[in-house]
């Protein structure tokens, strides 16, 4: 067998062993990588998880201005929002998405919320919680009982002296459709890296 034929036979064996992909296989791999890139760049931040930055002091002492959080965007679709979860929501609706708030869920759908003095009442019972930086001095609209709809939540900032939250008419009850997600993890600063409570 001539040297040329041996070389060609050797190349054919390499191709059959999968070491040199065929052109169709290469195109298929490129399509898979392109789809994975689109998934990572567009779909994951839009529908699954994204980074957000705290702006302002309304969640002190839990969260501080400039901290970066990871927000998961799935649970709210199924109503998997619990009392004391920290959520990101659009107070003026999703059409004004550039403005969002980060607050803590206090009242759940169907509950009646009222603030008397510095105490929060849920369905007439005092809510045991210690998230507030300072005692509540202004109950706002919650001075009177507020009964939440089946798709509404009552939220407060942990820094209740400065927080613009469900106590005020400009925010009011937060509809489920306006929730952007649940904050689950702090990624910056590194010395506070970890889950949220």
Please report which confidence band the pLDDT of residue 77 belongs to, taking 50, 70 and 90 as the band edges: low
Whether the predicted model's global pTM rises above the 0.85 cut: no
Residue 139 gets which letter from DSSP?
A: -
Residue 151 per-residue DSSP state: T
Q: What is the C-alpha to C-alpha distance for residues 48 and 78, in angstroms, rounded to an integer?
A: 13
Q: Is the peptide bond before 6 cis (omega within 30 degrees of 0)?
A: no
* CA 117 to each of CA 56, 135, 142, 170: distance values in angstroms, whole numbers, following the listed order: 26, 9, 11, 22
Q: Which residues are catalytic?
A: 58, 103
- According to the model, what pLDDT value does residue 42 have? 64
Longest Cα–Cα distance of the chain, Å, equals 99
Both ends of the chain: CA-CA distance in Å? Answer: 75
Percent of the chain with pLDDT strictly greater than 90: 41
Structure confidence at residue 99 (pLDDT): 80
- Per-residue pLDDT at 14: 47
Confidence at residue 55, expressed as pLDDT on a 0 to 100 scale: 87
Residue 132: the pLDDT is 85
Measure the CA–CA gap between 87 and 183, rounded to whole angstroms.
6
pLDDT tens-digit series, residues 8-30: 444 444 444 555 556 667 777 77
Residue-wise pLDDT tens digits, 143-168: 999 999 999 999 999 999 999 999 99
Residue 188 CB contacts under 8 Å (≥ 6 apart), including other chains: 66, 67, 68
Q: Which two tokens stand for residue 187?
A: 């990624």
């Amino acid at each position: 067998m001539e040297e040329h034929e041996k070389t060609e036979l050797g190349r054919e064996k390499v191709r059959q062993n999968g070491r040199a992909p065929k052109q169709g296989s290469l195109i298929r791999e490129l399509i898979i990588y392109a789809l994975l890139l689109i998934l990572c760049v567009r779909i994951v931040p839009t529908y699954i998880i994204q980074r957000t930055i705290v702006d302002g002091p309304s969640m002190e002492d839990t969260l501080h201005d400039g901290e970066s959080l990871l927000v998961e965007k799935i649970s709210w679709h199924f109503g998997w929002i619990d009392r004391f979860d920290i959520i990101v929501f659009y107070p003026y609706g999703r059409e004004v998405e550039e403005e969002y708030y980060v607050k803590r869920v206090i009242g759940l759908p169907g509950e009646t919320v009222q603030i008397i003095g510095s105490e929060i009442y849920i369905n007439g019972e005092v809510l045991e919680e210690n998230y507030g930086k300072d005692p509540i001095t202004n109950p706002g609209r919650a001075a009177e009982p507020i009964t939440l709809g089946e798709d509404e939540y009552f939220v407060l900032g942990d820094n209740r002296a400065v927080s613009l939250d469900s106590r005020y008419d400009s925010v009011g009850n937060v509809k489920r459709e306006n929730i952007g997600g649940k904050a689950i993890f702090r990624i910056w600063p590194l010395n506070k890296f970890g889950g949220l409570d």
